[in-house]
Structure 1
């Protein structure tokens, strides 16, 4: 009878139950938002606008250049990290935009269900009971890591497919179905190249530990795994190569290793968050129980629903030689030592623990094996019970509660000179964590949520252990499902309540058209930076991590701060920016739209230039001067000065001029026709002499320009914007963008 019950646990049933659990967690959100999945955080500010933009880009047939991304961006290279590599995106393409919110809810539910099903497939081959495997599958799909990842949304795609990597690695080790490891590697690489790096590093560690721990596996078995896995990555070159080439053109990539050593040193205090993330649940990414937000957005949470750290932590004391315990210990050592977590992102960000989806699966496996071993051996569990309880309590007190006490003493007891001394010692870490801020009522709510989440897991677990239900796999599976529903629902509701109504009015709007044809930009004064993607109008604002070097160089001159954050803050006040960036309308903070008084169409000409030797400054007065100067003269590097000899005259920057009059002059010289689309732009310029025509378009790698049917070079001006020399008379200009690496990657 027991065997029949065990055999009744099928993958499709785990899938359906996980589907129901996931639906229940977001049901309150759907009811309050007319069955649209509207949450908070990056989900609202990035995921929804990016998906809307991606839909129209692919529907255009030429998804190469996104005009709705700030000043324009390589779509293929910039958005593979966020959207289109995932199979969960493509069903949304065919949905009408008004149903997108419901479609996002359906995909949210589906991602969790797939995660549970793939985790079940992996766990059942290493766990004796299928009910335990089902419980572990729910723990994996609805872990604290998944909770935090829900606000990133595309992280859930990685969680859904990762267990297949380990499953088919085992298959190849057992000399079965090698081609499926190839396909799974390809799938994971397409879904997200950044996480694929972390997955690949973990795959190597997993492979080494398995082969070293089990005599039946030989070096050739590991080599076979490496070969098929590697071929899968190479097959994904159609996305990986354009993405890599685009990434190399951004400050995010080229500056991410600057000061990597000191970044690793500064990440050492992150140990507090790591310990807490391993033994206690996450109460949110937007706040915390002790009023600190240090290492936020780093995905530092590996708490397992119901079990927590209770069972796997007992293996730290034991002498088990099983490969799973060895693997767990290796992973824990890596994550706890300085610089260790940087291995999984090639040391680009030392504090990120975004590879913990892999760690969680192994922690679950070890935990379930501990229970089964105790059940089979009949040993007294009391010593391990006491060890686990004491260890978790001590770690929670020392590494978590102690921070709350330290903050209280710092804020309310220490005097000003002492506070300054503390900041001098740990200044960067403490300031970033908001350690010096006073407690707020919101902190109390997060504390109560944390306590509730702890009780939901450890409290229910204590009951299961006391009544010995922990050795009944069916009861454990049922309890896990219940804890997952309650914990996930509480977590989401608390985060959404904290930022109630945040950005709802923006993301719920529909674009007037899905066409990707434009003639100008608009000025966006609303607080929602990606508003242009929502309404399908190019705007001079963005919330996106990827800004090309060409874009950054213009920002350096004009006073846009494009540092390490996705935001693009403007340090200027002059309306002359309307002329320089061809902004035809202004969207005010209340949503009203008015004509831009100083709008100049794309493709105006310059007669003067100045040497570009300026550095970025936050001085609004200086940036206003530079922007107003660009209504009369363009900034040219010393390297390009010779190319414009005889065509432009060097301007004395001290010469007085009326920028408003100069804007009128530029308007008179602008293109008589201009149209931009998802593959480039076309323009017509009339003039009596040879001239330099300026387009405020970043000259990223991939642009090809022709004038009257003949290929011509692009001269970079105003940072690295486009300058094109055209002959006297009518000039028909066509610019086509082909993402670098796309053709080679597809070959």
Structure 2
């Protein structure tokens, strides 16, 4: 490569990453008609989530979102996925129909930004900017980054993390004030989940460097650094506070790791998986191959550095010298192998994830860069070690015999422990060919020369492009529904479905054994939803009726009463799969009371004859004790007979409701139909969602409780004819209010996102404090620059004295400077071994 001014490399790192990502994604964008469609979660979450959130924001509907599950807190539910992402906000000016065509270009931009961010951090520690550029590409296109194409929203964390460390370095080396606070705010806003891991890493990073003697800090500077961290966290409260209040309702956060599970993984294969991810390209998220029984699906186990693999890392660790990066790497490897320490990156949650490995890959990229620039690295030795480990894993997993016995006699032998042999040997081939290229570069080029870097960039670009394309292509083979369902029937928004009331706010839908979030593609209400963050009342309700609600709501057809309770009117059954709602002959519907409606947009459509419009009334009640004593399979049927109340609520509404005698409780299909008919007799005349909640009208000759199958949350406020009324939490997790007799009674529910106002106030105050802090620090800095620091026995005079005497200005004179703002790394044995960290 041609020598360039150092400053140009910032732009060049961005453009290099942009070009590589463009080459990788372009073939798939062209094949999919301008779209980028992958498989699994990316297809059924990222694409519809972007469109739904995009349209909601453009319409000003940022409070309650009724198109997600039974309804969700929009900010609390979508801040994890995209609301803090600047890449999402880039899409807002574009029409909603363009979103499907923007996913690919956004990914290309993300990889380019990751390369730039890594260079911003790494260039400080490089003698040659080409080495930093090489390492930035290793980070941006590491196994972790390519693996998590599956999870579109993970790449924002990959981008901001190097900037956080770079900001901390600026504070420690140059005393640059305020940048660390801004970096903390950016990391927290982008994704609060990943921010927890970043905090853990940054604390370790800070103290390791202090202990290693790489940094020195005064008590004053430490307190100012802590102040910046607090102010940065406060500036992010606009999203953080509503998100925390929402996520605390999710039972998945209350699962701390403990006991032996904190010391040893319960799956021995997981240790092999962790080792393998360092030396081989990543497995597909849902298809672990090397270790199929490691229970690590979707765990983001990927840390391979393209082409160089572990050669530079092992070389750096083998060098006989003390250095902070060696300590960091050993600590991180130990944390990866100990479940309790691994869990520290996710608030000690027991669920296994390695979603902090992008931090590890940044340190590994730095080690590779430093190893390339250090003349004392024994590359023959490190390549030998890397090759031996790679071959050992390949041969053991690829050729290990498994004896199949019958009646204690061996009847056959299978070779290999992998699940998909063809893919396995392709992974192994990529890893070994990459090592061969490293040997080629070190043998035929002088390490550190221009020709060496030129050849390295060519070889690295080839490996990155080929392995990334192979990974994406492999993933696309797992989704056979791209061309026969997603493009023709999902992305068209259900345009061919001509049901007049399909998008009526009183109507929900059901999609039988169909693509997850099919309703979200069409932007219609549905009880089927694949979304991790929903109100706690929704999870409590589903748990009470025996429906598992962890990452998705997928009630099966045994819960037919649930459909009536939640106002489901239409069911869509994909007509080109083998899962038939009513059998191949359409004669046996999976639930009672469903009649065939017609076929459109790739679906057979069924209509619920027992449909109850959203917003209906009761005349009976049962207590929670009666409900708890009812079997789970009958509980939603009981809710169709009577309203489930606490003892206090029963006394409060005793003038409107009478208790349902146990002798009248029957769970037959005839009773079910009668109960649905009784509930449908008196319902709201109108019902409509608004940007602040929903409104309804009803006419009733008696005082009644009006029930809405909308999840209860603290942010709801209800008004009847303009007067505020109490909202009661009924039927385990839903809402009901009292309405007195009258004609055309107006009901209004207003939703205010819990914690949003508080978060905005905290953010505004902290941002103002950050600005004030930076102005104060700048004033202090200017004052300090006016003074000359001289030995204690000399007179200290302001610079203006000498400027006037010599008729010149010394503001930028190289010989007039303050005390050194950092202390050189004590671990450096020779200056030429490591670049000046200034």
TM-score (structure 1 length as normaliser) = 0.89
Partner of 1:744: 758
Partner of 2:227: 227
Moved more, 648-657 or 170-179: 648-657
How far apart in 1 are the matches of 2:571 and 2:162? 49
How far apart in 1 are the matches of 2:490 and 2:726? 40
CA displacement, residues 585-634 of structure 1 (integer Å, 9 cap, x when unaligned): 222223243433211112211111223348999xxx95553333322212
Question: Is residue 311–residue 388 contact of structure 1 (8 Å, CA) maintained in 2?
Answer: no
How far apart in 2 are the matches of 1:54 and 1:533? 11
2:596 counterpart of 1:579: no
* 1:449–1:616 Cα change, 3 Å: farther
The 5 Å alignment of 1:331-410 reads: 331-374=332-375, 377=376, 381-394=379-392, 396=393, 402=396, 409=402
Partner of 2:512: 525
The 5 Å alignment of 1:621-640 reads: 625-638=634-647, 640=649
* 1:208–1:219 Cα change, 3 Å: farther
Quick one: which of 455, 473, 492 aligns to 1:493?
A: 473
* 1:262–1:206 Cα change, 3 Å: closer
Give secondary structure in 1 for the equivalent of 2:70: coil
Number of aligned residues? 712
Partner of 1:700: 713
Partner of 1:427: none
How far apart in 2 are the matches of 1:340 and 1:267? 15
How far 1:403 sits from its partner (Å)? Answer: 5.3
CA displacement, residues 680-738 of structure 1 (integer Å, 9 cap, x when unaligned): 11111221121111110110221111112111111222112111111121332111111
Partner of 1:316: 317
Partner of 2:739: 726
Partner of 1:277: 277
2:616 counterpart of 1:604: yes
CA displacement, residues 222-277 of structure 1 (integer Å, 9 cap, x when unaligned): 443333233111110010000000011122223x3276764764456322211111
The 5 Å alignment of 1:115-154 reads: 115-154=114-153
CA displacement, residues 256-308 of structure 1 (integer Å, 9 cap, x when unaligned): 32767647644563222111112222132232434715311111111101111
Question: Is residue 718–residue 725 contact of structure 2 (8 Å, CA) maintained in 1?
Answer: yes
Question: Is residue 287–residue 293 contact of structure 1 (8 Å, CA) maintained in 2?
Answer: no
Moved more, 553-562 or 335-344: 553-562
Moved more, 285-294 or 707-716: 285-294
Moved more, 264-273 or 36-45: 264-273
Moved more, 465-474 or 336-345: 465-474
Question: Is residue 173–residue 222 contact of structure 1 (8 Å, CA) maintained in 2?
Answer: no
How far apart in 2 are the matches of 1:652 and 1:18? 70
How far apart in 2 are the matches of 1:312 and 1:208? 22
2:428 counterpart of 1:446: no
CA displacement, residues 505-525 of structure 1 (integer Å, 9 cap, x when unaligned): 454223669x99833212222
Partner of 2:441: 464
How far apart in 2 are the matches of 1:211 and 1:320? 17
Give secondary structure in 1 for the equivalent of 2:644: strand
Partner of 2:533: 546
Give secondary structure in 2 for the equivalent of 1:43: helix
How far apart in 2 are the matches of 1:212 and 1:258? 29
Q: Which protein shows a greater Rg?
A: 2
Partner of 1:648: 657
How far apart in 1 are the matches of 2:422 and 2:626? 48
How far 1:155 sits from its partner (Å)? Answer: 0.4
How far 1:93 sits from its partner (Å)? Answer: 2.2
Moved more, 307-316 or 7-16: 7-16
* 1:64–1:318 Cα change, 3 Å: same
Moved more, 454-463 or 681-690: 454-463
* 1:143–1:5 Cα change, 3 Å: same
Partner of 1:210: 209
CA displacement, residues 624-664 of structure 1 (integer Å, 9 cap, x when unaligned): 53333322212223453333333222213442472212222
How far apart in 1 are the matches of 2:72 and 2:63? 9
CA displacement, residues 441-480 of structure 1 (integer Å, 9 cap, x when unaligned): 9712321331232134223212212324554233223322
The 5 Å alignment of 1:279-294 reads: 279-290=279-290, 292=292, 294=294
Question: Is residue 567–residue 614 contact of structure 2 (8 Å, CA) maintained in 1?
Answer: yes
Question: Is residue 702–residue 737 contact of structure 1 (8 Å, CA) maintained in 2?
Answer: yes
Partner of 2:769: none
How far 1:89 sits from its partner (Å)? Answer: 0.1
Gaps of 5+ in 2: 576-602, 762-838
The 5 Å alignment of 1:62-211 reads: 62-211=61-210
* 1:381–1:671 Cα change, 3 Å: closer
CA displacement, residues 43-92 of structure 1 (integer Å, 9 cap, x when unaligned): 11111111111012111213111111111111110110001110000122
* 1:62–1:283 Cα change, 3 Å: closer
Question: Is residue 36–residue 101 contact of structure 2 (8 Å, CA) maintained in 1?
Answer: yes
How far apart in 2 are the matches of 1:440 and 1:686? 68
TM-score (structure 2 length as normaliser) = 0.80
Question: Is residue 73–residue 534 contact of structure 2 (8 Å, CA) maintained in 1?
Answer: no
Give secondary structure in 1 for the equivalent of 2:749: strand
The 5 Å alignment of 1:659-670 reads: 659-670=672-683
How far apart in 1 are the matches of 2:514 and 2:734? 26
How far 1:580 sits from its partner (Å)? Answer: 0.9
How far apart in 2 are the matches of 1:702 and 1:382? 64
Partner of 1:476: 456
